[in-house]
């Protein structure tokens, strides 16, 4: 497995299409792998549960983030992740960001987050993301000067402000 960070010019974004739904469902499932390992369910039960949860999340995002950009992240033409980003007047909200497991811990997420932070800095907007407390990426947000500003159930609202740096 290649663990080197790819060059930025190899990474592209494009709007998600209905043809991407199976990929996005698969990607969603990979974000729940650790949780699924702990369950004493059959593979069929896990798959049905993940289908239901993915569908509910997709509907929620489409309803509550109507202005959101639903983007597929590609590396040299291969789908490797998703970035759902909602650009508001006063803040940029990262609604969701996820990479396939073999593309995690390669610096890609950090590179993309730094670009979003730079956009926030350039436009004077805060950057926000909700992160589950146990999400390993939370340490990355801490290193990028995101600060915990609120809690909503298992989610922590993390916020970067232009004054942070």
* CATH at residue 87: 3.40.630.30
* Residue 7 forms part of a structural domain: no
Question: Residue 164's pLDDT is what?
Answer: 57
- The mean pLDDT value for 137-144 works out to 90
Q: Given the DSSP bridges, would you call strands 126-132 and 147-152 parallel, antiparallel or unpaired?
A: unpaired
| Whole-number pLDDT of residue 133 | 81
**Regarding predicted confidence, which is higher, 135 or 145?**
145
Quick check: is 17 in a domain? yes
Distances (CA, A) of 135 to 27, 33, 34, 120, 157: 16, 12, 11, 23, 13
Host H or E run for residue 153: none
In-domain check, residue 6: no
pLDDT band at 67 (very low <50, low <70, confident <90, very high): very high
Residue 96 lies in a domain: yes
Residue 1 covered by a domain: no
pLDDT attached to residue 22? 97
Is residue 3, in this structure, part of any structural domain at all? no
Mean pLDDT of 5-20: 94
Residue whose entry in the numeric block shows the structure tokens 């803040």: 91
Q: How many independent structural domains does the chain possess?
A: 1
Domain membership flag for residue 5:
no
The predicted model gives 88-102 an average pLDDT of 95
pLDDT (tens digit, 9 = 90+) per residue, 77-90?
A: 999 999 999 999 99
Evaluate whether residue 110 is within a structural domain.
Answer: yes
Asked whether the whole model's pTM tops 0.85, one would answer: yes
Domain that holds residue 21: 12-164
Instruction: Work out the mean pLDDT of the chain and round it to a whole number.
Output: 93
For 72, counting Cβ atoms within 10 Å of its Cβ (0-12 exposed, 13-18 middle, 19+ buried), the class is: buried
Q: How sure is the predictor about 1, in pLDDT bands with cuts at 50, 70 and 90?
A: low
């Amino acid at each position: 497995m290649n663990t080197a960070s790819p060059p930025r010019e190899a990474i592209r974004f494009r709007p998600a299409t209905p043809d991407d739904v199976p990929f996005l469902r698969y990607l969603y499932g990979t974000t729940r792998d650790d949780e699924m390992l702990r369950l004493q369910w059959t593979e069929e039960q896990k798959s049905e549960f993940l289908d239901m949860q993915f569908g509910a999340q997709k509907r929620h995002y489409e309803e509550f983030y109507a202005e959101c950009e639903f983007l597929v992240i590609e590396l040299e033409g291969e789908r490797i992740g998703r970035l759902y980003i909602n650009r508001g007047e006063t803040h940029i909200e990262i609604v969701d960001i996820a990479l396939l497991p073999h593309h995690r811990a390669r610096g890609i997420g950090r590179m993309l987050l730094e670009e979003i932070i730079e956009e926030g800095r350039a436009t004077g907007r805060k950057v926000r993301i909700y992160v589950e407390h146990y999400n390993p990426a939370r340490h990355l947000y801490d290193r990028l000067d995101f600060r915990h500003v609120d809690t909503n159930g298992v989610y922590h609202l993390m916020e970067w402000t232009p004054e942070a740096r």
